[in-house]
Structure 1
Amino acid sequence: MKKLVLALSFAFSIGFAQAQTSEVPKETWYHSDFEQTGVYGVNTEKALDFLKKNKRKSQPIVVGVLDSGVEHFHEDLKANMWINTKEIPGNGIDDDKNGYIDDVHGWSFLGTAKGINYNDDTVELTRIYKNLADKFETYDQQKNHDAIVKNPSEYAEYLEIKKEYLGAIGKAKYTQQIAQARLNAIEPGINKMVLEFGDTKLTKDIISKYQPTDSQVIEALWIFGEMKEEQWVGKTMKEVSNSYLGMARRQAKGDALTSHYNLDLVNRKDVDNPNDLKEKFYGNSDSNGPEASHGTHVAGIISAVRGNKIGNEGTSGGNHVKIMSVRTVPNGDERDKDVANAIYYAVDNGAKILNMSFGKTYSPNKEIVWNAFKYAADKGVLIVKAAGNSNEDIDTHIHYPTNFKPDGTTVSNAVLTIGASTRNADKLKAAFSNYGIKSVDVFGPGAEIYATYPGVDQYRFLNGTSMASPAVAGVAALVWSHYPKLSAQDIRTILMETVNKNEQLKDISVAGGVVDSYKAVQRAEEIYKQRKLK
């Protein structure tokens, strides 16, 4: 699931780290040089200066973004989208004979051959519960009894799954009711303030001196203490209302229950048969899809156009890095079958790095994903994946897809799992980020990340290991595109060995630090010279 952390408050400590942090523009902090600023960015500019001095020329490289879709016509992405030159757009013919018709910018495994896409799906917990409930809770009591007697261990699993499922339902209902109560309490007062302030641009002085007499307005004023200043300073009250109440309404809606937890699974008729794990050729060429916010943001972190003086710039450091969009992740849990096929598609069509900013708690067909991991490694492809946003130790609370089998053995030597770091050196691990001294390899910037967003010319700040993963994938692309004779395993090792270490990350990740492009290219240069590569 492409889980984002959309509303977090970050407390910055007093002292050197805070002073340095405040001097770094928030929109670009994740490119920072730690030694110069005290901010753990990926050090993009210094890396590019080093490459220029050493006369290292870049080679084209393709990064597959396995996600919700990418808005390929976005102003800051369109020049850096992968184009399948062997395919003639829109002619309805599989020109390159790869099994996928009109796959110009990538492919969608979340739709029909007629171009009808879906965006919502259930979580894996729901699917497992439904399958087991169909077996053990039929209308025929004798049939139920026989199933229990024949499958006692599976029945025990069912009871555990049922408890977890119903607990999730209860939690979702509670959260929804709280959100609705919150909305009811603040909406009348906010609406009155919209009328009162009109087109006035808000400032801290205006709000601090504001003395309303209306009780509903007074009851709603606390939202200014909850929001960060940049969310309301310089904006009209209507803009604040649209943003704040929009989020509150989404939280109060019942979609979480109907889309994620109910027993009526999304109808995938004419899309593919989820139970046919060997099926490969399904979906359509709409690699954007109906809701591409997550994937578009991820793509921009990797390879937003450099040097155009708009939006953001990718951590890959140049316009030679092209984005291939493979729609894999719905609003709900991704299917193992779709994940495996997305990996095969991206690898077979030339991607050298795959970014996978998604994950889930259950993976009933994990073996086919592991096989795809091995396939990618055998083809010399690096997989970079998010650690997840539950603030859990994923050494014990498994976050799928995982690179470890139950016996602890590693599936692939070309997978990097990424935790999320912040711009605050005193509180470096993002509060939401998963961790694990075995299962999380490195950390990358993942809090308050500014990048492309659907709407052609839109950009937003988002938080999550979903953002940290592409930050690192971009660094991998920067290094590999300038040192193309290195292997995927080389790139993985280089990124892990050249982190900026920090005691806060020492016991919660393998490398114990945040990736650094400059140190990585320095190490790549050393290896090239040692191996006498050109």
Structure 2
Amino acid sequence: MKKLVLALSFAFSVGFAQAQTVEVPKETWYHADVEKTGVYGVNTEKALDFLKDKKRKPQTIVVGVLDSGVEHFHEDLKANMWVNKKEIPGNGIDDDKNGFIDDVHGWSYLGTAKGINYNDDSVELTRIYKTLAEKYDSYDQKKNHDAIVKNPTEYAEYVKIKREYLETVGKTKYNQQVAQAKLNAIEPGLNKMVLEFGDTKLTKDIIANYQPIDNQVIESLWIFGELKEEQWVGKTMTQVANSYLGMARRQAKADGLTSHYNLNLVDRKDVDNPNDLKERHYGNGDSNGPESSHGTHVAGIIAAVRGNKIGNEGTAGGNHVKIMSVRTVPNGDERDKDVANSIYYAVDNGAKILNMSFGKKYSPNKDIVWDAFKYAADKGVLIVKAAGNSNEDIDTHIHYPTNFKADGTSVSNAVLTVGASTRTSDKLKAGFSNFGKKSVDVFGPGAEIYATYPGVDQYRFLNGTSMASPAVAGVAALVWSHYPKLSAADIRTILMETVNKNEQLKDISVTGGVVDAYKAVQRAEEIYKQRKLK
């Protein structure tokens, strides 16, 4: 499941070592050079200067974004979208005979061949509970007893799963009611303040000296104590109300959708048969889909167009990187079958790097995903994936998909797991980020990341290991495109060996540091010389 948080951000200054304090723009901090600014960015510009000095010319490289979809017509992405040149758009024919009709920019496993797409699905907890409940929660007590006697271990798992599911249902209902009550309480007063203040820019003095007589207005004033000053000072009341009420509405709606879809015990039957794990060709060519905010943001972090003076610029550092969109992740938990098939599709159609900004607690068909990981590794593809946002040690609390099997087998040489770091050097690990001395390889910028958002010309700040993973995937693309004779294992090793280490990350990741593109290309250059490659 994709999880992130909207963020308000601002320019900041941080000291590092004994360097002078340097101001870093809020939109570009994740590109920063830590030695120059004290901010642990990925050091994109210095890497590009080095490559230019070495006269390294990049080759085109395709990055598969396995996500919610990508708005391929976005102003800052359309020039860098992968295009299947053998496919004629919209003719309803599989022109290139790859088994997928009209897969121009990628493919969607979250829809039907008739073009009917979906965005909401259940979570694995719900699916597992439903399966076990059908076996152990029958009105036939003898049937229940016989099943329990024959499968005591599975029954114990059912008891555990049932409790977790019902606790989640109760918490969800509570959160929905709280969100709606909050909206009901503040909306009338805020709307009245919008009319009263008009276009006035708010200041601390204005709010401190404001003496309303309307009870509904007075009842709403408490929000200024909840908000950070930068969220309302210098803004109009209309802007404040739209932002605050909009967030409240989204929370109420999101919790409602969670209650209705994520915890819904009725299986979807309008797309494919989720139990037919051998099925490969289903879905459609709509790689954007009905709601592509998460995937569009991820794609922009990797490969937003460089040099067009709009939006953001990707960490891949140039317009030779092309994004292939594979719709895999709904609002809910991605299905193992869809994850596996998305990997096969991206690999078979030329992607060299896969970004996977999703994950979940349970994975009933994890072996088919692991087999797909192995397939990608054998084909020389690098998988970069998010560590997850539960602030847990995933050495002990496994976050799926994982490159480790229960028997200890792994495909570690082809998988890079990324935790999220922040712009604040003395609190480097993002509070939400998962960690693990064995399971998290590196950290990358993942808090307050500015990038493309659906709406053709829209951009947002978002938080999550979902943002850290593409920041690192972009660096991998930058290095590999300029040093194409290296292997996926080489790229992974280079990125791990050249991190900027920090004591705060030492015991919570394999490398103990944040990825640095400049140091990575330096190391790649050294390897090329050692191996006498050109």
TM-score, normalised with respect to structure 2 = 0.96
| 1:81 shift after superposition | 0.2
Residue deviations 1:191-225 (CA, integer Å, cap 9, x gap): 22111112233344544443434343333233234
Q: Distance in 1 between matches of 2:19 and 2:47?
A: 25
Q: Distance in 2 between matches of 1:455 and 1:277?
A: 35
Residue matched to 2:252: 252
CA RMSD of aligned residues (A): 2.1
Q: What SS does structure 2 have at the residue aligned with 1:443? A: strand
Structure-to-structure mapping, 1:93-242, within 5 angstroms: 93-242=93-242
| 1:486 shift after superposition | 0.4
Q: What SS does structure 1 have at the residue aligned with 2:6? A: coil
The reply on whether 1:464 has 2:464 as its aligned counterpart is yes
| 1:15 shift after superposition | 6.5
| 1:227 shift after superposition | 2.9
Q: Distance in 2 between matches of 1:247 and 1:47?
A: 38
Residue deviations 1:274-329 (CA, integer Å, cap 9, x gap): 00000000000000000000000000000000000000000000000000000000
Residue deviations 1:83-109 (CA, integer Å, cap 9, x gap): 001111111110110000010000000
Q: Distance in 1 between matches of 2:387 and 2:518?
A: 24
Letter paired with 2:87: E
Residue matched to 1:84: 84
Q: Distance in 2 between matches of 1:380 and 1:64?
A: 14
Q: What SS does structure 2 have at the residue aligned with 1:305? A: coil
Q: What SS does structure 1 have at the residue aligned with 2:443? A: strand
Q: Is the 8 A contact 2:344 2:376 kept in 1?
A: yes
Q: Distance in 1 between matches of 2:204 and 2:344?
A: 53
Residue matched to 2:496: 496
| 1:226 shift after superposition | 3.0
Q: Distance in 2 between matches of 1:492 and 1:499?
A: 11
Q: What SS does structure 1 have at the residue aligned with 2:426? A: helix
Residue matched to 2:264: 262
Q: Is the 8 A contact 1:5 1:389 kept in 2?
A: no
The reply on whether 1:410 has 2:421 as its aligned counterpart is no
Q: What SS does structure 2 have at the residue aligned with 1:27? A: coil
| 1:7 shift after superposition | 5.5
Q: Distance in 1 between matches of 2:15 and 2:33?
A: 19
Letter paired with 1:33: D
Q: Distance in 1 between matches of 2:202 and 2:409?
A: 57
Q: Is the 8 A contact 2:22 2:36 kept in 1?
A: no
Residue matched to 1:27: 27
Letter paired with 1:175: N
Rate the CA distance shift 1:158–1:512 in 2: closer, same or farther, 3 A.
same
Q: Distance in 1 between matches of 2:396 and 2:174?
A: 27
Q: Distance in 1 between matches of 2:437 and 2:213?
A: 55
Residue deviations 1:455-480 (CA, integer Å, cap 9, x gap): 00000000000000000000000000
Rate the CA distance shift 1:284–1:211 in 2: closer, same or farther, 3 A.
same
| 1:408 shift after superposition | 3.5
Q: Distance in 2 between matches of 1:20 and 1:223?
A: 37
Q: Is the 8 A contact 1:193 1:237 kept in 2?
A: yes
Letter paired with 2:178: I
Structure-to-structure mapping, 1:353-368, within 5 angstroms: 353-368=353-368
> Which shifted more, 191-200 or 355-364?
191-200
Aligned length: 532
Q: Is the 8 A contact 2:13 2:23 kept in 1?
A: no
Residue deviations 1:164-199 (CA, integer Å, cap 9, x gap): 111111221222233233223322221221111122
Letter paired with 1:185: A
| 1:22 shift after superposition | 7.1
Moved over 4 A (4+): 7-10, 12-22
Q: What SS does structure 2 have at the residue aligned with 1:23? A: strand
Rate the CA distance shift 1:445–1:35 in 2: closer, same or farther, 3 A.
same
> Which shifted more, 503-512 or 189-198?
189-198
| 1:23 shift after superposition | 1.1
Q: Distance in 2 between matches of 1:81 and 1:469?
A: 19
Letter paired with 1:276: D
Letter paired with 1:113: A
Q: Can you give the 5+ residue segments of structure 2 that lack an aligned partner in the other structure? A: none
Q: Is the 8 A contact 1:17 1:425 kept in 2?
A: no
Residue deviations 1:419-461 (CA, integer Å, cap 9, x gap): 0000000100001000001000000000000000000000000
Q: Is the 8 A contact 1:20 1:39 kept in 2?
A: no
Q: Is the 8 A contact 2:395 2:436 kept in 1?
A: yes
Residue deviations 1:47-77 (CA, integer Å, cap 9, x gap): 0000000000000000000000000000000
Rate the CA distance shift 1:444–1:16 in 2: closer, same or farther, 3 A.
closer
Letter paired with 1:342: S
Structure-to-structure mapping, 1:495-534, within 5 angstroms: 495-534=495-534
| 1:155 shift after superposition | 1.1
Q: Distance in 2 between matches of 1:207 and 1:483?
A: 57
> Which shifted more, 145-154 or 497-506?
145-154
Residue matched to 2:398: 398
Rate the CA distance shift 1:57–1:6 in 2: closer, same or farther, 3 A.
same
The reply on whether 1:291 has 2:294 as its aligned counterpart is no
Structure-to-structure mapping, 1:430-469, within 5 angstroms: 430-469=430-469
Letter paired with 1:361: K
Q: Is the 8 A contact 1:388 1:466 kept in 2?
A: yes
> Which shifted more, 129-138 or 406-415?
406-415
| 1:32 shift after superposition | 0.3
Structure-to-structure mapping, 1:305-454, within 5 angstroms: 305-454=305-454
Letter paired with 1:45: E
Q: What SS does structure 2 have at the residue aligned with 1:26? A: coil
Q: Distance in 2 between matches of 1:9 and 1:59?
A: 35
| 1:16 shift after superposition | 6.1
Rate the CA distance shift 1:221–1:152 in 2: closer, same or farther, 3 A.
same
Q: What SS does structure 2 have at the residue aligned with 1:425? A: coil
Q: Is the 8 A contact 1:374 1:412 kept in 2?
A: no
Letter paired with 1:268: K
> Which shifted more, 142-151 or 449-458?
142-151
> Which shifted more, 157-166 or 215-224?
215-224
Q: Is the 8 A contact 1:31 1:315 kept in 2?
A: yes
Q: Is the 8 A contact 2:68 2:293 kept in 1?
A: yes
Q: Can you give the 5+ residue segments of structure 1 that lack an aligned partner in the other structure? A: none
Q: Distance in 1 between matches of 2:387 and 2:200?
A: 43
